[in-house]
Amino acid sequence: MPDLIVANNLTKQYVNEDVVTPVLHGISFSIPKGQFVAIMGPSGSGKSTLMNILGFLDVPSGGSYEFAGKDVSKLDDDRLAEMRGKNVGFIFQTFNLLPKTTVLDNVKLPLLYSDVPVSKRDAMAKEAIEAVGLAHRTNNLSNQLSGGERQRVAIARALIRQPDVILADEPTGNLDSKSGQQVMDLLQSLNEKNGHTVILVTHETYTAEYAERVLRLRDGLLQADERIEKRRKVGEFIK
């Protein structure tokens, strides 16, 4: 498969007045289209900073970042926002749903500022909701759902524009074991059956074992790039 993401000697530093804080110190890797990758590391390792760069929420201080064959390292905020909306589906630990809003309307949110005709948005949202097994909850308010169901709504929202990559940031962090298993099984199914590229940011080994590859960060450096021969199978989530 062709490479979807190519990071070459990525560096990142934050400047606050005269204080310079280096976070990433020259990270290089590539991710083929359709791969399931976990990014792991302790607090302060640079996981969140790298995630922000990969998801077009931030830009590197040095090095290059190619996405689908295009160097996106120096794009302006407007172009980054456009790529973020079209190319990346985000899943967060805290769900980020509107509480007194239906599942349907929550899933439609990414289309709000898009050029998708209003007449097509309900059908697109319903298709995404059905893909995560929540068609029976379409008209429920998000605050009427369990934690696992809310995360599945968040996954449907991430899928609605058919992004090139799903970026999941600690997606099971606020879930019990059973709900966490359902979410990880769903992400694995989207990867294996639908071919979605999935990047999972986590500090937990049991979620990383759903991936086929693990990038381990420490102190802003890529410490290891590991292939996982035996992946967890659907239903084998253990906490």
Helix, strand and coil in the chain, % to nearest 5: 35, 30, 35
What lies within 8 Å, CB to CB, of 25 at 6+ separation is 11, 219, 220, 221
The whole-number pLDDT of residue 55 equals: 95
* pTM, to two decimals: 0.90
DSSP state of 232: P
Across the chain, mean pLDDT equals 91
Mean pLDDT of 193-203: 92
Summarised one tens digit per residue, pLDDT across range 92-116 is 988 999 989 999 999 999 998 888 9
Order the strands of the 36-40 sheet from edge to edge.
88-92, 165-169, 197-201, 36-40, 213-218, 221-227
Q: Between residues 229 and 94, which one has the greater pLDDT?
A: 94
Counting beta carbons within 10 angstroms of the beta carbon of residue 15, is it exposed (0 to 12), middle (13 to 18) or buried (19 or more)? exposed
Is pLDDT above 70 for 234?
no
CA separation for the pair 215, 40 (Å, rounded) = 6
CB half-sphere exposure, 139, CA atoms < 13 A: 0
Structure token digits, residue 89? 């589906």
Residue 91 CA, chain-centre distance (Å), reads 5
Size of the chain, expressed as the number of residues it contains: 239
Is pLDDT above 60 for 39?
yes
Q: Tell me the Ramachandran region of residue 101: left when phi exceeds 0, alpha when psi lies from -120 to 50, beta otherwise.
A: beta
Mean pLDDT of 111-136: 92
Q: What is the helix (H) or strand (E) element at residue 41, kind and residue range?
A: none
Is pLDDT above 90 for 9?
yes
